[in-house]
Amino acid sequence: MKTNNTEGLTTFEINVLVQQGGRFVIFPNTISKLVKKFKGSNIYFVRPEESTIKYALKHFILNLKSCWSESFFQPIYIIKSLFYLMKGG
């Protein structure tokens, strides 16, 4: 998996930002290809002063576009995904 938002940062700088409140977050994606369901996304590094809403909104819109009409259970997966996105990933 690729880690986003760590470009140009050294390991020491990342450790300092984590101690100040930064965190690594994975947002749920539910993409259905008939029967198979793929969940998860890339890892995002969220800095202490940053909000997760801009990443969460992108993944929620992706879930709405790709999954709403594929099967009977997709709305359940989207609601579950929205719950995790509102919690912050």
pLDDT tens digit at each of 89 positions of the chain: 678 888 899 999 999 999 999 999 887 766 655 555 656 667 889 999 888 888 888 877 776 776 655 555 566 766 777 777 767 65
Torsion angle of the four alpha carbons 70, 71, 72, 76, in this order, in degrees rounded to the nearest 10:
-60
Domain count, the chain: 1
- Structural domain harbouring 31: 3-87
pTM tops 0.75: no
Report CA 11 to chain centroid distance, whole Å.
Answer: 22
